[in-house]
Amino acid sequence: MNPQTYARLYGPWKPTPSASARPGVTLLTVLLGAATVLSMAWLTFLAGMVALWGAAEGAAVGGFLAEYAAGVAGGATLLAALACVPGVRRMTPAGRRLLLTAVACPVPLVLAVVTWLGVG
């Protein structure tokens, strides 16, 4: 594309160059994200089953579900706050995604493994 065509298409606004991520970084981000999603799915399923069994026995389960929802919302809020830190915002997009998935993964993964082993 010659400069005149480029200037006609974009004018003074030029698109930001896309930084291609290394395949290893992308793969690690996907694996950590999948581990986080699967562990959160297991924990949500387990919390739902506990609430269902408690409700079947006639126990009040609203407080239990509210605590679980507050924990998930608190974790999401902390992750969003970390994403807004200036040092993190200056990172490359691939590095930022890897950092956020690496921070998000350990807590739900450990809880999911402990509950999985505890439930049998």
Tokens of 100: 């956020």
Between residues 8 and 75, the one the model is more confident about: 75
Query: CA angle 50-56-57, nearest 5°?
Result: 95
Question: How high is the pLDDT of residue 46?
Answer: 94
SS (H, E, C) 10-77: HCCCCCCCCCCCCHHHHHHHHHHHHHHHHHHHHHHHHHHHHHHHHHHHCCCCHHHHHHHHHHHHHHHH
Tokens of 87: 């040092």
Question: How high is the pLDDT of residue 19?
Answer: 60
pTM of the model: 0.77
Percent with pLDDT over 90 in the chain: 67
**Dist. CA 48–CA 101, nearest whole Å:** 25
- Which tens digit of pLDDT belongs to each residue from 14-49? 555 556 668 889 999 999 999 999 999 999 999 999
**Dist. CA 75–CA 107, nearest whole Å:** 10
- Which tens digit of pLDDT belongs to each residue from 102-113? 999 999 999 999
